[in-house]
Structure 1
Amino acid sequence: MKVKLFYRTQRDLATALNHIVDAYWSEEIKEDELIEGIKSMYLNNQDKLMKNNQFTTVIHQQCGKRRLTIVERILDIK
């Protein structure tokens, strides 16, 4: 699965996060691909993903609690 390095908007980033987590859940990608993809998204789009050590409102609304729990664990947040 191909993951972009930079996203234009928070909605684009949320869509990409949803896609990669859903692909993992449906066993289209392996766990290491999920981890690598999420880490690269975070490193290159920190300002769109997090504000004040919390997910932005758009990310929270678009991705939902279950997906963001996985992202938190991968990024070791909190």
Structure 2
Amino acid sequence: MEVRLFYRTQRDLATALNQLVDAYWQEEIKEDELIEGIKSMYEHNQEKLIKNNEFTKVVQQQSGKRRLAIVGKILEKEIG
């Protein structure tokens, strides 16, 4: 799965995150690909993903709790 480095809007970023997590759930990509993709998205789009130590509202609305729980755990473990 192709992961871009930079996303124009929070909505674009949320859509890409959803596709990445969904591909993992459907066993189209491996766990390490999921982790690397999420780390890359976070490193290059921090201001669009997290504000005030929370996921931005647009990302929350677009992605839902289950996907964000996975993203949050990966970021907590990998980034700190």
Q: Same fold (TM over 0.5)?
A: yes
- Superposed structure 1 runs of 4+ greater than 3 Å apart: none
The answer for unaligned runs of 5 or more in structure 2 is none
The answer for unaligned runs of 5 or more in structure 1 is none
* Counterpart residue number, 1:68: 68
Aligned length: 78
* Counterpart residue number, 1:47: 47
Query: Shift in Å at residue 20 of structure 1?
Result: 0.2
* Counterpart residue number, 2:35: 35
Query: Shift in Å at residue 28 of structure 1?
Result: 0.2
Q: CA RMSD in A?
A: 1.3
1:62 is aligned with what amino acid? Q
Query: Shift in Å at residue 71 of structure 1?
Result: 0.3
Structure 2 CA distance, aligned partners of 1:76 and 1:50?
12
Query: Shift in Å at residue 47 of structure 1?
Result: 0.2
* Counterpart residue number, 1:10: 10
- Percent of aligned pairs with the same residue? 74
TM-score, length basis structure 1: 0.97
TM-score, length basis structure 2: 0.95
